[in-house]
Amino acid sequence: MGKVKDLKTEILQNYFSIQDNIATLKLVYDTFSELINPNFGDIKIEKLNDKLFSDIREAVSLLPRKFKLNLHIVIKDFGEYTKDECEKIIKQNIYLAAYRTIKENRQKLISGWSLIGAGAAILVVSYFLHSYELWFDLINISGTLFVWEGVNMAFLERSLENRATRRLAKAIKNITIEGTDGNI
């Protein structure tokens, strides 16, 4: 068991700076504008494309559960943005991602319960058609599939997504942004 842990740590040290249970990952981007989705929002606040969040999710997925993650984001060229504007944009996009996750979870819960209700109604109808064996079987199978898909959507998928989101939120300890001039 110790050899496996040492091997994991050795592999992770190729990508992260590890001290105790804190891993620091340096993400380097040429320009801040490469992280921006230019087709979304207005001039007041920019929406980031999925590049940064994809890198963060990948980093968290690589780390053992007990580890915390410090993200050190280096932007070689801020372009038309200041460091403070970049921090504000990243912070607002984190809030937007959290809002989206909550909204999607609520929609899945509603859809799941709707499918469960429809499946239950179909199963009730199937028992009135018990004398018509073929129709009974088809409707019974359809109702069961509706209920199963609803349970999957309302409970299983949401549970896995919520767990992944909580793990992501718990794993990130600190985010710092700097330009190539080294100013944090």
pLDDT, tens digit (0-9, with 9 covering 90-100), for 97-108: 777 777 888 888
| 31 phi, psi to nearest 5 deg | -135, 155
- Map out the domains of the chain as residue ranges: 2-179
pLDDT value for 181: 52
Sheet order of strands, 172-179 included: 17-19, 22-31, 68-77, 172-179
pLDDT, tens digit (0-9, with 9 covering 90-100), for 4-46: 666 677 777 777 888 888 888 888 888 888 888 766 766 656 7
pLDDT, tens digit (0-9, with 9 covering 90-100), for 138-171: 888 888 898 999 888 887 776 766 666 666 666 6
Q: CA-CA distances (angstroms) from residue 52 to 19, 36, 78, 131, 167?
A: 24, 10, 15, 59, 17
Q: CA-CA distances (angstroms) from residue 112 to 100, 108, 125, 163?
A: 18, 6, 20, 18
pLDDT value for 5: 65
CA 89 to centroid of chain Cα atoms = 18
Percent of the chain surpassing pLDDT 70: 82
Label residue 183 by pLDDT band (50, 70, 90).
very low
pLDDT, tens digit (0-9, with 9 covering 90-100), for 76-85: 888 888 888 8
What's this model's pTM, rounded to 2 decimal places? 0.62
pLDDT value for 41: 63
